[in-house]
Amino acid sequence: MSQPRRVEISEDGGLSILWDDGHQAGYAPARLRLACKCAVCEDEWSGERRLRADSIPAGIRALGVKPVGRYGLQIDWSDGHSTGIYTFDRLRVLCECPACLTAPRG
Ligand SMILES: [Zn+2]
Ligand SMILES: [Zn+2]
């Protein structure tokens, strides 16, 4: 599993992660907020989304980020939400840089 070498909040309030394999990833704040998989945002049994894209405030941004064990990150969002944990595996999949968008996933 990839580990982040450096994690920063980017100017737009999203995240910028440099992975230990040298990959530089960027995450837009609204998309990352929507990807939250905590029990508030997604039903853990059915997998049904409870969080709707149009319920995310405009201008949402990450206020803080901290490591959770050796497997993920917890993000404090400007809408007061902070219960979601983003695992490193998931963050790798969520990367939207041109290289990841064109590379086969798996
Ligand atoms: Zn959540
Ligand atoms: Zn990428």
Interval between CA 84 and ligand 1 midpoint (Å): 4
Identify the pLDDT of residue 99.
87
CA 56-48-28 angle, to 5 degrees, is: 35
Choice among 1-10, 73-82, 95-104 with the minimum mean pLDDT: 95-104
Record: fold of 4-102: NE0471 N-terminal domain-like (3.30.2020)
Closest CA to 70 of 93, 50, 48, 89: 89
Interval between CA 6 and ligand 2 midpoint (Å): 14
- pLDDT (mean) for 83-102: 92
Identify the pLDDT of residue 8.
97
Q: In terms of pTM, does the model score above 0.75? A: yes
Interval between CA 37 and ligand 1 midpoint (Å): 5
Closest CA to 82 of 47, 40, 49: 40
16 sits in which H/E element: strand 15-19
Is the pLDDT score of 103 beyond 80?
no
Q: What is the pLDDT of residues 26-38, one digit of tens each?
A: 999 999 999 999 9
